[in-house]
């Protein structure tokens, strides 16, 4: 029986309340793959079966596996893992820890960075007791995800609450239970202490089993267990290939522009060092490894370039979603086949190269390469053409920076605005016509399109070819 079939049997048994069968099937499925979905399901089954140590192991492992995969569902799984931790700590009588994890689940649902140092676990008084009040919790309602257009997907998607609004509400509601219990406990109760960390220590994959009896007491019908000392995540726990950034580049005769797509870079802290054949950048936040700190090896990327550059003239800029490098070619007019390659960590040069630490350009300005000298212009190759005006130097044409606008008014924005202001009947017509015509027709007349398929009508001079992939 396949792992997928076993996992589905386990999830079905969990839904029916048969926790022993659910755990057995999920144990077998997880021998083949550490799926965050399966780990979270087994964690829930262990909670129901009162195997709290095993449940915590699965929730923490699910968090790390989701973070390392960096897929489109990773944030959702990390949100659920933090919520699962909140439930487990509550049942262990660690109510302050429970509220911290629920708060972190909410922050992830709001779109906040996973590695952000938000100080939630540092809100303690001189006695080490948690200081967040029930009234402060109620004020968090103002941060509930507001209606906004969904990211990506169909450009005609309607505006709605963020994709994690339900997860936010679930964690918000759980906090009322944790803080409600704290309000009625004496200040010397262990439940007031914060012993949890935002990024959980990464446990080793293993087949879960019922925990051994621990040093604990029973108070208020809740098991109060002493927190175990846990080690920090081991360096290098994420393969280098998974941590590498998505890169795009283009070039003209004078410069190579390299775009490194990375979120949540702190512009004021970022250092970029240019030398003749490489660029060193740090600290870089890694979405695949959210526990990376600025001093870690993984926080540095070294770009080994495919050609030589003028390090002193090269610049960089930072925007919310990328770092852009403008690398001035040491020899203008020479075409690079590729920009180069990224290496995680520091790569030492041969010591003969001068190194320059560049200051960031304004994130709103467009970095333009330095004007070429007359001698450099003379060396620039001109490309053959049938134009009566003779050969043209295409590299001398000005660059259009329209594609670099993060929040510009593009066609998707127009469609969303149009869709939002339409009636439900018009919205149905727009969706049907747009999808069936492969994006070539947009109709707002439902009567016209409801009873027939809308054909693909390509622009003049363009042929329609079926996709057989």
Query: Which domains are assigned to the chain?
Result: 34-225 (no CATH), 240-366 (2.60.40.790), 422-469 (no CATH)
Residue 370: pLDDT over 50: no
Residue 392: pLDDT over 90: no
Collapse the DSSP code of 358 into the 3-class scheme (helix H, G, I; strand E, B; otherwise coil) and give the result. strand
Residues 6+ apart with CB under 8 A from 197: 121
The mean pLDDT of 441-447, rounded to a whole number, is 83
The mean pLDDT of 44-70, rounded to a whole number, is 92
What pLDDT, on the 0 to 100 scale, is given for residue 351?
A: 55
d(CA 61, CA 246): 26
Residue 54: pLDDT over 90: yes
pTM comes to: 0.47
Phi and psi at residue 419, to the nearest 5°: -65, -40
* 134-to-109, 123, 192 alpha-carbon distances in Å: 21, 14, 14
Residue 187: pLDDT over 70: yes
Band of pLDDT at residue 40, cut at 50, 70 and 90:
very high
Is 144 or 74 the better-scoring residue by pLDDT?
A: 74
Is 399 or 131 the better-scoring residue by pLDDT?
A: 131
* Strand bridging mode 340-344 / 278-282: unpaired
What pLDDT, on the 0 to 100 scale, is given for residue 359?
A: 60
């Amino acid at each position: 029986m396949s792992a997928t079939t076993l996992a589905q049997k386990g999830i079905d048994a969990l839904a029916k309340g048969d926790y022993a069968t659910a755990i057995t099937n999920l144990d077998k499925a997880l021998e083949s793959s550490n799926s965050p979905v399966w780990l979270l399901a087994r964690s829930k089954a262990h909670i129901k079966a009162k195997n709290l140590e095993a449940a915590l192991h699965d929730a923490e492992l699910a968090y790390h596996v989701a973070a390392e995969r960096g897929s489109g569902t990773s944030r959702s799984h990390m949100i659920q893992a933090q919520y699962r931790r909140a439930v487990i700590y509550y049942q262990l009588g660690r109510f302050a820890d429970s509220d911290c994890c629920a708060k972190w689940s909410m922050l992830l649902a709001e779109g906040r960075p996973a590695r952000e140092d938000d100080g939630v676990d540092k809100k303690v008084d001189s006695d080490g007791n948690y200081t967040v009040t029930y009234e402060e919790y109620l004020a968090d309602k103002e941060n509930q995800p507001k209606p906004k257009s969904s990211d990506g997907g169909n450009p005609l998607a309607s505006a709605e609450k963020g994709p994690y609004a339900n997860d936010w509400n679930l964690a918000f509601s759980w906090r009322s239970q944790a803080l409600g219990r704290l309000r009625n406990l004496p200040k010397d109760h262990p439940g007031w202490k914060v012993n949890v960390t935002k990024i959980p220590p990464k446990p080793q994959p293993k087949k879960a089993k019922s925990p051994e009896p621990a040093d604990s007491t029973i108070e208020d019908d809740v098991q109060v267990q002493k927190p175990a000392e846990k080690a920090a995540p081991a360096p290098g726990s994420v393969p280098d290939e998974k941590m590498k950034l998505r890169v795009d580049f283009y070039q003209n005769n004078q410069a190579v522009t390299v775009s490194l797509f990375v979120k949540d870079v702190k512009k004021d802290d970022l250092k970029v060092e240019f030398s003749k054949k490489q660029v060193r950048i740090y600290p870089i936040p890694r979405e695949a490894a959210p526990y990376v700190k600025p001093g870690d090896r993984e926080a540095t990327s070294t770009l080994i370039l495919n050609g030589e550059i003028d390090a002193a003239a090269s610049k960089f800029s930072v925007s919310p979603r990328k770092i852009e490098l403008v690398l001035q070619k040491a020899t203008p007019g020479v075409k690079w086949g590729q920009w180069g390659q990224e290496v995680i960590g520091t790569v030492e040069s041969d010591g003969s190269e001068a190194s320059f630490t560049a200051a960031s350009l304004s994130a709103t300005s467009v970095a333009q390469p330095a004007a070429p000298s007359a001698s450099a212009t003379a060396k620039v190759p001109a490309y053959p053409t049938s134009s009566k005006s003779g050969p043209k130097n295409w590299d001398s044409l000005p660059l259009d920076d329209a594609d670099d606008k993060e929040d510009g008014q593009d066609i998707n924005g127009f469609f969303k605005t149009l869709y939002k202001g339409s009636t439900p009947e018009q919205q149905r017509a727009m969706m049907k016509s747009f999808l069936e015509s492969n994006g070539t027709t947009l109709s707002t007349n439902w009567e016209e399109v409801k009873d027939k398929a809308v054909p693909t009508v390509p622009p003049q001079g363009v042929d329609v070819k079926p996709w057989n992939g």
